[in-house]
Amino acid sequence: MSLSIEEMASFCKRKGLVYNSAEIYGGMAGFFDYGPYGVELKKNILNEWWKYMVSSRQDIVGMDGAIISPEAVWKASGHAENFSDLMLVTEDKSYEVRADVFLEEQLKRSFDGVSAEEVNKLVEEHKLVAPNKKKFKKCESFNLMFPLKVGAAGTAAYLRGETTQMIYLNFSLIQNDARMKLPFGIAQTGKAFRNEISPRNFLFRCREFEQMEMQFFIKHGDNKKWFKFWQAERKAWYLSLGIKEKNLRYRAHNKDELAHYAKQAEDIEYNFPFGWKEIEGVHDRGNWDLSTHMKHSKQKLDYYDEETKERIIPNIIETSAGVDRNFLMFLYDAYDDDKERGNIVLHLHPKLAPIKVAILPLVKKVGLKEKAEEIFNSLKMNMVCFYDDSGSIGRRYARMDEIGTPYCITIDFESLTDNSVTIRNRDSREQKRVKIADLVSALDLS
């Protein structure tokens, strides 16, 4: 796994996976667009997560909340005041950087949860200056929320910094309408926005990104049990989609590192070429969120416990994953520069592969094209297909390997008489002859 993050970004651009957003205008750090194959892979990650976390469970329901919400929401949640990172800025403001990121680069160790005093001490001790040799001012705190004004009246609002707040605001409505009883979960996927000081490492740290979050509401006292349960479940999901176990680990947050809402937090980390980095967090948020929104909105967000005949404020175990970081991880884990084949192969799990099957008439001759189109039309409602009749068959196989297509179907002259085609397996390169009528069952996408 020696591919650098710059090489990965360039591979993604070449293969129609991810582009820098607004590149023809020079782009802007931390914003990306997904291309034709990238959007399929991203949707597949989201769909697999939804199936695992929502559709296949009786105790979790979904929702889809607004991206923009009034200032009051983010004041109550604590984000307007506390959702910040430490920043180092030069005296002449010519260079700014997130303090822990800068220290990690300079001193080659992790500085998660470092305090402002420690940053100032380290900068002085090691005589650290900006890359342009300018001196830093004292370290300062920078809020990551994106404020904006809504309507002609200019009502103060924010772009959401995490998707989950909308779940808390709708807790009582959903609990009543879906008749949920503790313990139960509410899940949501969607965009989140953070004005990151140092967006870097391609999709790893963006300013606009997507989250897959689930809040599991429980009775106070059951926190440890459910924290452990969701830790195991989330790791199992990654393994079920083919991530190599040796590349995953859990790391507990130390006290200084905990977000303002968290009582306990553990990150699932992936072994990227730029180090072990967080792809998902499992958090014990206690009853902080529901309590603070009850206090500020003066509305009831509690729960009637039929056993004890009391009204209680549920505790929350949260699982919070980033889609873009997942995307990057699945690509790294699948990436194989196969010297023997002479091309890259993405060994993506078939459920995640952007294209499931390529339909390749061996030559551009009358009869084969029509047969290939007939097969395309018979499969297209079952799976994402791709038709390609240009170039040598070897070149076409290579193009499909490079975007992770698990199967290629070739149609030759015999197909016209025996109604059979050849299926080529991406990973083993094995080829087998199959009746066209049996194709759907022969293509194993599980």
Which CB sits closer to ligand GAP, 190 or 406? 190
Task: Give burial (CB, 10 Å; 0-12/13-18/19+) of 100.
Answer: buried
Ranges within 317-336 binding ligand GAP (CB under 6 A): 318, 320-322, 324-325
Q: Is 215 helix (H, G, I), strand (E, B) or coil?
A: strand
Minimal CB distance to ligand GAP: which residue? 322
* Gap between the Cα atoms of 162 and 190, Å rounded: 9
Helix locations, 241-276, DSSP H = none
Ranges within 198-237 binding ligand GAP (CB under 6 A): 205-206, 209, 211, 213
- DSSP-assigned letter for residue 382: T
CB of 211 to ligand GAP, least distance (A): 5
- Contact status, residue 312 vs residue 300, Cβ threshold 8 Å: no
Q: Is the peptide bond before 199 cis (omega within 30 degrees of 0)?
A: no
Side-chain-side CA neighbours of residue 339 (13 Å): 0
User: Which one of 100, 280, 289, 333 is in contact with ligand GAP (CB under 6 A)?
Assistant: 280
User: Which one of 100, 266, 269, 278 is in contact with ligand GAP (CB under 6 A)?
Assistant: 278
Which CB sits closer to ligand GAP, 167 or 423? 167
Residue 183 makes contact with ligand GAP by CB under 6 A: no
Residue 286 makes contact with ligand GAP by CB under 6 A: no
Contact region for ligand GAP (CB under 6 A) — 178-186, 228-236, 277-285, 386-394? 277-285
User: Which one of 98, 194, 349, 424 is in contact with ligand GAP (CB under 6 A)?
Assistant: 194
Structure tokens at 297: 């909105």
Which CB sits closer to ligand GAP, 40 or 278? 278
* Gap between the Cα atoms of 162 and 158, Å rounded: 11
Q: For ligand GAP, how many residues bind (rule: CB under 6 A)?
A: 19
**CB atoms < 10 A from the CB of 301, how many?**
22
What Rg value do the Cα atoms of the chain yield, rounded?
25
Among 70, 83, 76, 80, which Cα is nearest to 154's?
70
Which CB sits closer to ligand GAP, 317 or 362? 317
**CB atoms < 10 A from the CB of 218, how many?**
21
Which CB sits closer to ligand GAP, 141 or 382? 141
CB of 417 to ligand GAP, least distance (A): 53
CB of 288 to ligand GAP, least distance (A): 12
Among 238, 241, 185, which Cα is nearest to 55's?
185
Q: Which amino acid is present at 94?
A: S
Contact region for ligand GAP (CB under 6 A) — 98-106, 108-116, 278-286, 332-340? 278-286
Residue 100 makes contact with ligand GAP by CB under 6 A: no
Ranges within 153-172 binding ligand GAP (CB under 6 A): 162, 164
Q: Is 272 helix (H, G, I), strand (E, B) or coil?
A: strand
Question: Given the rule CB under 6 A, which residues bind ligand GAP?
Answer: 162, 164, 194, 196, 205-206, 209, 211, 213, 278-281, 318, 320-322, 324-325
